[in-house]
Amino acid sequence: MNDSQTIDKSVTSRIYGHGRGWVFSPIDFADLGARPAVDSTLRRLAVKGSIQRVLRGLYEYPRFSKLLGESLSPNIDQVASALARKFGWRIQASGPVAENIIGLSTQVPGRVVYLSDGPNRVYKVGRTTLSFNHTALKETGFRLHESELIVQALKSIGSERITPEIIERVRRWLPNSQRAKVVADTKTATGWVRSAILKVAENGAVRG
């Protein structure tokens, strides 16, 4: 097997390993080989239909709806994360976006806003406008993406509006296997936010 075939196999394996819905750019394979070889593999997979182009230089391993018999729209959070990795930005979902991702809001936003330490940028992804607003980011010290989303969502809702139903919705969204990790990751969160997270993590995580 020559170098080109090895890179092709490694790139394909990484894509399939992440599972359907993963959004990525060539930068996500920089450790596997030279950029031209990576680009060649991605072009081949796109022509074959194994992956699909989302934006210039951005691809998705598409999810399919058996009911509709077609591929689903890209996950905007995945698109935002892929762009952040591509350009080396730190990003943070705005409160309303975090609420939507977790399922605390049923509204389907036409404009999705992320805070970023990079430049102001706007992208059109299907019918959705994805905006990155430059700002001094706060609370970016969390290791887990789930932690950031939960904290942002809870703060957006506000302490006075946190109900048992809200806690239960977050609990249903957060896999049991992640609860102890989120508890450990959010020890520096604001008091009432921390209390809410501990309630979310009950029945499956270590409290503290």
Degrees (nearest 5) of the Cα angle 188, 189, 195?
Answer: 115
Same domain assignment for residues 65 and 8: yes
| Residue 206: predicted pLDDT | 41
Same domain assignment for residues 163 and 190: yes
| Residue 203: predicted pLDDT | 66
97 within some domain: yes
112, 97 in Cβ contact below 8 A? yes
| Residue 65: predicted pLDDT | 84
99 within some domain: yes
| Residue 72: predicted pLDDT | 85
Query: H or E element: which one contains 132?
Result: strand 128-134
Q: How far apart, in whole angstroms, are the C-alpha atoms of residue 114 and residue 84?
A: 10
Same domain assignment for residues 10 and 65: yes
pLDDT, tens only, 105-127: 877 778 999 999 999 999 999 99
60, 54 in Cβ contact below 8 A? yes
128 within some domain: yes
205 within some domain: no
Mean pLDDT of 16-24: 97
Q: How far apart, in whole angstroms, are the C-alpha atoms of residue 186 and residue 183?
A: 6
Q: How far apart, in whole angstroms, are the C-alpha atoms of residue 21 and residue 196?
A: 30
139 within some domain: no
Which is nearest to 115 in space by CA: 97, 88, 134?
A: 134
Residue 94 has pLDDT above 50, yes or no: yes
Q: Tell me what the pLDDT averaged over the chain comes to.
A: 91
Mean pLDDT of 82-92: 96
Residue 1 has pLDDT above 80, yes or no: no
50 within some domain: yes
Number of Cβ atoms within 10 Å of the Cβ of 16: 12
| Residue 139: predicted pLDDT | 59
92 in helix, strand or coil? strand
**Residue whose token pair is 């989303």:** 149
CATH of the domain at 10: 1.10.10.10
208 within some domain: no
| Residue 79: predicted pLDDT | 98
117, 89 in Cβ contact below 8 A? yes
Total structural domains within the chain: 3
Same domain assignment for residues 19 and 60: yes
**Does residue 141 or residue 146 have the better pLDDT?**
146
Mean pLDDT of 20-29: 98
Q: How far apart, in whole angstroms, are the C-alpha atoms of residue 14 and residue 183?
A: 29
Percent of the residues in the chain that have a pLDDT greater than 90, as a whole number? 79
pLDDT, tens only, 43-80: 999 999 999 999 999 999 999 888 877 788 999 999 99
28, 85 in Cβ contact below 8 A? yes
- Quote the tokens at residue 82: 């892929």
Which pTM does this prediction carry? 0.86
pLDDT, tens only, 173-206: 999 999 999 999 999 888 999 999 999 998 644 4
Q: How far apart, in whole angstroms, are the C-alpha atoms of residue 7 and residue 41?
A: 8
| Residue 105: predicted pLDDT | 87
The boundaries of the domain holding residue 165 are 145-200
- Taking CB atoms within 8 Å and a gap of at least 24, the contacts of 158-164 are 159/192, 159/193, 162/192, 162/196
206 within some domain: no
Same domain assignment for residues 59 and 99: no
| Residue 81: predicted pLDDT | 96
Distances (CA, A) of 104 to 16, 154, 161, 169: 30, 9, 12, 7
